[in-house]
Amino acid sequence: MKKGIYNILRGTFLVSDDSFKNWRFIIFLSILALIMIASSHSADKKVYEIARLKEEVKELRSAFLDGRSRLMKLKMESNIVQKMKDKGLSPSEIPPKRIIVKSKQ
């Protein structure tokens, strides 16, 4: 037990005759670590992108609601009557008449 730990600390398992399988395992673990780090960075980038897009959606939604409320105010009859009064037009006092056309068939 003591000799095995001592060999690991000195690194003799890397230079012995059968060290090729040890080097393959170390290289394999290093490649796995690099893949894991790259995957983590990719996931973080996606999380930041999602947060940015959520903020953009909130801004666009508030702009849409603001535009819709302004449009509803502009379409109100009292607002239209006021603007037409400024131009010299007023609403008719006589209600419109409905014209009914009967076909000959």
**DSSP annotation string for 9-76:** HHTHHHHSTTHHHHHHHHHHHHHHHHHHHHHHHHHHHHHHHHHHHHHHHHHHHHHHHHHHHHHHHHH-
Q: Chain-centre distance of CA 43, in angstroms?
A: 14
Full residue range of the structural domain in which residue 22 is found: 2-86
Asked if residue 41 belongs to a domain, the reply is: yes
Asked if residue 47 belongs to a domain, the reply is: yes
Asked if residue 93 belongs to a domain, the reply is: no
Residue 91 pLDDT more than 90? no
Residue 12 pLDDT more than 80? no
When divided into structural domains, the chain yields a total of 1
Asked if residue 79 belongs to a domain, the reply is: yes
Asked if residue 39 belongs to a domain, the reply is: yes
Q: What is the pLDDT of residue 24?
A: 87
Residue 14 pLDDT more than 90? no
The pLDDT tens digits for 20-65 are 777 888 899 999 999 999 999 999 999 999 999 999 999 999 999 9
Asked if residue 16 belongs to a domain, the reply is: yes
- Measured distance between the N- and C-terminal CA atoms of the chain, rounded to whole angstroms: 111
The pLDDT tens digits for 59-89 are 999 999 999 999 999 899 888 888 888 888 8
Q: Chain-centre distance of CA 90, in angstroms?
A: 49
Q: What is the pLDDT of residue 36?
A: 98
The pTM score is 0.56
